[in-house]
Structure formats: structure tokens, C-alpha cells
């Protein structure tokens, strides 16, 4: 096992480098998943039938709150990775914990949003538009939920084992996943919500 001290800890072994490369390949598959969802959404967004349109159901306030929460969480996960690279275990755990709390708050707002949609008659089976909208949002929300559990396990491992090449690698890969969710949300915010409100 080769160790290169010139590289950040998460890249410090050949296995770590392969793990990161493998995760980039996985993210490529995730890009295809969301690209398919977006393509389906853009095809069906005007097929509202007797159901509501995006302009009728979208509210800017919850969407802005969700966006601010996720953008902030992307910043805090970056601070966590920086703390990890300089060996500040407690700071890293703190920033990762703040990231997860922001993600949890995001999910809370999204659940409120889904309940609101159900109350105003924008359910999964109302129209092609509402079906693909809720599927797209729900898929992203499911990824965030998975990320919360994954991040919690990362924090537990770092607390128990400290910052090692293995825990640094896992933490960095988690941060890539979290940034990916943020990028997907920017697309949802821009091309689903903002476009749909016009």
C-alpha cells in the first residue's frame, strides 16, 4: 500500500484513490438518473389535465428556504473537509453535524411542501405533471434522507477512530455526494420552480 504524504489524507493511499474514482463513476450514474427525471419532467410539465399548474401550486417562500438551507449545508460540509485536512477532529465533527441539521431542516420544509400539495389537490395521480413533479422532488428528498444516515455513520466513525486515511476517505466521498445533491437542487430550483412560476 503506497502512501503519498504530498496528497491530502483522503487521497493518501492507492485504495483511497480508487475509492474516490469509483465514487465519481457512481455519481455519473446518478447524473443519468436525474437527467432522465428532468427530461421526463420537461416532456410532461404542461400535461396538467384537470389538475393544477406549477404557477398555481408553487410558493416562493418554502423554495427559497430550502435553497438557502442546502447552499449553507454545502458550505459547512466544505468547512468540515477543510477541518479534516488540517487534523481538527472536533471542528470537523461540528461542521458535519451542522450540515446534517441543515439537511434535516431542508427535509422538514420539503415534507411541509408535499403536505401542502396534497391539501390543494396536487397528488401523485392527479396529472402527468404532478406525478413527475412529485417523483422528481421525492427522488431528491430520498437521496437527502439517505445522506443524513450516511453522514451520521461517518460522524460516529470519526468520533470512534479519529481522522485516519480510511475515515478521511469516507468523509471526503460523503462530501462529494452532498455537493452533488446541492447541484441537483440548483437545477430543480431553476428549471422546475422558477420556470414553473412564470
DSSP state letters, 69-93:
HHHHHHHHHHHHHHHHHTT-HHHHH
- pLDDT given at position 2: 43
- pLDDT given at position 14: 84
- pLDDT given at position 10: 81
Measure the CA–CA gap between 117 and 112, rounded to whole angstroms: 9
Q: Is the dihedral of CA 67, 191, 124, 35 positive or negative?
A: negative
pTM for the predicted model, two decimal places: 0.91
Q: What are phi and psi of 56, to 5 degrees?
A: -85, -25
- The tens digit of pLDDT for each residue in 74-88 reads 999 999 999 999 999
- pLDDT given at position 3: 46
- pLDDT given at position 76: 98
Q: Which residues does the chain have with pLDDT short of 50? A: 1-4
- pLDDT given at position 6: 67
Burial class (CB in 10 A: 0-12, 13-18, 19+), 85: middle
Contact criterion met (CB below 8 Å) for 137 and 62: no
Amino acid at each position: 500500500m503506497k502512501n503519498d504524504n504530498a496528497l491530502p489524507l483522503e487521497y493518501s493511499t492507492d485504495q483511497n484513490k480508487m475509492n474516490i474514482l469509483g465514487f465519481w463513476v457512481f455519481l455519473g450514474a446518478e447524473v443519468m438518473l436525474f437527467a432522465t427525471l428532468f427530461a421526463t419532467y420537461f416532456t410532461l410539465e404542461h400535461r396538467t389535465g384537470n389538475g393544477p399548474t406549477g404557477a398555481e401550486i408553487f410558493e416562493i417562500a418554502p423554495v427559497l428556504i430550502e435553497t438557502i438551507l442546502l447552499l449553507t449545508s454545502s458550505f459547512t460540509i466544505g468547512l468540515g473537509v477543510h477541518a479534516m485536512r488540517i487534523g481538527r477532529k472536533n471542528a470537523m465533527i461540528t461542521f458535519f453535524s451542522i450540515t446534517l441539521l441543515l439537511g434535516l431542516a431542508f427535509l422538514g420544509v420539503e415534507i411541509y411542501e408535499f403536505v401542502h400539495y396534497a391539501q390543494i389537490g396536487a397528488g401523485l395521480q392527479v396529472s402527468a405533471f404532478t406525478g413527475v413533479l412529485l417523483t422528481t422532488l421525492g427522488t431528491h428528498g430520498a437521496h437527502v434522507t439517505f445522506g443524513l444516515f450516511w453522514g451520521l455513520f461517518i460522524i460516529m466513525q470519526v468520533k470512534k477512530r479519529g481522522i485516519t486515511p480510511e475515515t478521511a476517505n469516507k468523509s471526503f466521498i460523503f462530501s462529494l455526494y452532498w455537493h452533488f445533491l446541492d447541484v441537483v437542487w440548483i437545477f430543480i430550483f431553476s428549471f422546475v420552480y422558477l420556470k414553473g412560476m412564470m
